[in-house]
Structure 1
Amino acid sequence: MRFILTLTLLLTSHLALAVDAGDKAPDFRLPLLTQQGQMSLSAYKGKVVYVDFWASWCGPCRKSLPALNTLRGELKGQGFEVLAVNLDEDIKEARAFLKEFPVSYPTLHDAKGATPDAYGLRGMPTSYLIGRDGKVKAVHQGFKPSDIDKIRDEVQQLLKQK
């Protein structure tokens, strides 16, 4: 029931305000999920960044997080980073998820929902591919394993641009 309510709210609350390709990506500063400290999007200025909103109850996230981890491993040395923003209310659920599906990229936590509000999040998972100029280049809603090939191509094209 919580899933349906959350999804309904996400789908209807900010459709008119949703960040889209061409828009400047809203900056954020959030606590790290599995360690001390905070991280901001602006810390990655000049890099290609894939901001991925996820939650422990999100079925497609069980596929997307590991696939993004592999992609990040392939392209990190070229100026690419993944920032995963977890939206679970209970941080313990998010941490348990990461024990089952570990990743090496930064994972952040936003239980209050300020970041998805700023982006006008439309559903789960939703990700934003951000270019070196800080603008959103693509928005990806949902995830199936075959999506990673398109995402890889988009990232590689952006990495070629200086």
Structure 2
Amino acid sequence: MPHDQTTGIPPLKHALTRLLLILAIIAALPAAAESAGKPEAAPDIDIRTAQREFRLSSLRGNVIYLDFWASWCTPCRESFPWMNRMEQKYSARGFKIIAINLDEDRSRAEVFLKKYPARFTIGFDAAGKSAEIFDVRGMPSSYLIDRQGKLITRHIGFRQKDTAGLESAIRSALNRQESK
């Protein structure tokens, strides 16, 4: 029986192996598409602001842009003016921004906020528990959550070139939810 010179596998077995691999991939596609089409529930975390404490789930019915930031984060300085514009532009449609500061020393966050004022809700989590729950891997990290509390998108970093796409995702979430 002839063998493939590179693998030593008979040609028929080589073809069958390829066919089985292709069939396995095709069989897995519907499951992958199904899970991709069903957003996962966003973790429910406690959020502490300067004035109050609340659960993220208490905001259901709104589209939430949850942002994790720190005073030392250079891209965070650019993200705050953009988040202010988004909050102002879409808040009447049920859009809320919650930005959770992860500095161990809250006074650093307060200095940052004097330079870059926020017109949206600021939470504080010096222990980083909420960031751990959301598996934050960079600063800033943002999560778009729909009105039912499902996670729509995750985004690490902040670049001006990404803002059109981020705003488009916000509009899409607001439009999709309003039409139901």
- TM-score, scaled relative to structure 2: 0.75
Please say if 1:99 is aligned against 2:114.
yes
Question: SS state of the match for residue 74, structure 2?
Answer: coil
1:71 & 1:147 partners in 2: Cα distance?
Answer: 14
Match of 2:141 among 119, 126, 132: 126
CA RMSD of aligned residues (A): 1.5
Structure 1 stretches of 5 or more lacking a match? Answer: 1-19
Higher helix proportion? 2
What residue in structure 1 maps to residue 150 of structure 2? 135
SS at match of 2:160: coil
Deviations along 1:28-69, one digit per CA (max 9) or x if unpaired, are 11221xx32113211210111000000000010000111111
Mapped pair 1:23 → 2:40: yes
> Which of 48, 51, 68 in structure 1 is aligned with 2:66?
51
Matching residue within 85, 88, 110 for 2:103: 88
Q: How far did 1:23 drift? A: 2.0
Q: Which has the higher contact order (CA 8 A, sep 6+)?
A: 1
| Runs of 4+ in structure 1 over 3 Å off | none
1:68 — aligned with what?
Answer: 83
Write the distance in 1 (CA, Å) between the matches of 2:110 and 2:152: 30
